[in-house]
Amino acid sequence: MALQKSDALVLKAYNWSESSRTIVFFTRDFGRLALIDKGGRSLKSRRGRMLAFSTLEVTFYQSRRETSGYVSDILVEQSFEFAREGTLGRLGYGSAACELLLLLLPEEEPQPELFDYTVHFLSWLDRADKRYLPSLFVAFYLRLLSSLGYHTSLTHCSVCGEPIADEAESRGEVAFSPEQGGVVSAACQKAGDYYIRLTYQSLKLLVTLQTASLNEAATLPISFVEAGLLVEALRRFMSYQADVRADIKSLEFLEKLKNSQGGNGN
């Protein structure tokens, strides 16, 4: 058995006895990787603490004869505490990001750029003013989808390929089709098909966030209500394009948070 080492984030842990668990990691060098952590939950183990929202260095054995490898050691490199104002929102968006990665990442395909981007996202989530958390999350969601091959067409009609901006501006809204994979011009819409109506403002935001760096996203305030609409459009897009049917529990939690705050996120 060969000993391997990689930077990693924890996506989920499944406890299957009082002392052992299986941990699904997003590793920098091996992509999504499920490893058995024997004895890791016991009080004597220094790996016992749940290690969400931390970058870790995980050492593990990979066995050719068995399906999963085994955790040998875990060192915490950097922990994001989400202690600044707006902790619940930070935790909600951080959990949603991990859920999305768990749903979408293919097994054992290295994604070093996406890994670095995710760590960068968590560090912004930890330190940005809470007004910018929704736009940071939408930017992360768009980047995650496109780096895994699910690119949303937002500037050109996803049926005929014509530019959409003028039409969207004069009508004040645009139709978004999760099934077609993006916006659809009036001429290409079919009666009976399902469309999400986005305002021209929302479309402009999405287009901006699609190419924005996280540093730029962290200067764009958007309301929880608008973010909710954009995230819902992306969630439906993901359901069609990636064939992921699961609901994202952390996003339901954010929905409740939004309602409890009267929708303004403050």
Asked if 159 touches Zn ion (CB under 5 A), the answer is: yes
φ and ψ at residue 105, rounded to 5 degrees: -65, 130
Q: Of 50-58, 147-155, 187-195, 207-215, which part binds Zn ion (CB under 5 A)? A: 187-195
Question: Which of 185, 202, 241, 250: binder of Zn ion (CB under 5 A)?
Answer: 185
Using CB under 5 A as the binding rule, whether residue 158 contacts Zn ion is answered as no
The type of residue at 138 is V
Which residue of 88, 102, 188, 244 would you call a contact of Zn ion, by CB under 5 A? 188
Cα dihedral sign for 165, 168, 173, 177?
negative
186 contacts Zn ion (rule: CB under 5 A)? no
Minimum Å distance from CB 262 to Zn ion? 38
**Among the candidate windows 27-35, 106-114, 149-157, 241-249, which touches Zn ion by CB under 5 A?**
149-157
The one among 10, 148, 157, 222 contacting Zn ion by CB under 5 A: 157
Q: What is the 3-state secondary structure (H, E, C) of 98-133?
A: HHHHHHHCCECCCCHHHHHHHHHHHHHHHHCCHHHH
Burial readout 104-115 (b: 16 or more C-beta within 10 A, e: otherwise): bbeeeeebeebb
Q: Which of 160, 169, 201, 247 binds Zn ion (CB under 5 A)?
A: 160
The binding site for Zn ion (CB under 5 A) comprises: 157, 159-160, 185, 188
